Amino acid sequence: MNEKKLDGKVALITGASKGLGKAMALALAEAGATVALVSRNLEQLNESGSAVKAADGDARVFQADVSDEDQVRKLERDVAGAFGKVHILINNAGISAEELGSGKVSTTTPDVIHRTFETNFFAPVALTQALLPLLKKSDAGRIVNMSSILGSQTLHADPNSPIYGVKSLSYDASKAALNSFTIHLAHELKDTSIKVNSAHPGWVKTDMGTDAAPMEIPEGAKTGVQLALLGADGPTGGYFHLGKALPW
């Protein structure tokens, strides 16, 4: 990205201390955005901010646990005070409380389900609600919910799909719920300039994806960045991987 498409625009990314969040921050900063990096881990967050600045980008760090209601309210106040508006929100923070593919219904505990939904669903919903007034102040807001192909109900139900045998109740259900949030919010905002989409980054060599994954982190960041850079004629209310629509 040589042209600075995002000069003067603010992109807020959660889970930005490492992995996909850090990679998306670097890409959006290269496109000219000021990136607001959000994470619980301040040391790693500062390292991400330093990496952006070392690449001649503009970064601000905001330490916050987005699953904590009070911290979300403080984050909104801090971001409003720093920038006045937000142009791009990438809900990237996510966890898997169990090894992916191992979450049998019969053995998944309520605690695992609650913890997974707290970070993967309730937190992005609450943060988006808090930041929506700032997104509405932008000329064309973009909301990207980092989902997973494992959130596809259609593919999970299809014995011929590549994910049919890879099931984790808590993680898969949390991403399906996040996809539902994308659909509902896109419908609510359909008459505005804000676009809302879900992204499947791919199976990526992150802490969650492990070194067994075939995709490197910069490649995995591409789908989220593409959706953040959508033009006025781009889609909303969709579910994508590298430009291709996925079945819900």
Single out the residue of 187, 191, 225 nearest to residue 11, CA to CA. 225
Q: Are strands 195-199 and 238-241 parallel, antiparallel or unpaired?
A: parallel
Strand stretches in 64-160, DSSP E: 88-91, 102-103, 142-146
Q: Is 171 a catalytic residue?
A: yes
Long-range interactions of 44-49: CB distance < 8 A, separation 24+: 44/17, 44/18, 45/16, 45/17, 47/17, 48/16, 48/17, 48/18, 48/21, 48/22
- Cβ neighbours of residue 232 under 8 Å, at least 6 residues apart? 140, 193
HSE value, Cβ hemisphere, 13 Å, CA-based, for 23:
18
Q: Which helix (H) or strand (E) covers residue 72, if one does?
A: helix 69-83
Two structure tokens written together for 216 = 């490197």
| Marked catalytic residue, from 62, 121, 171, 240 | 171
Q: Catalytic residue numbers?
A: 171
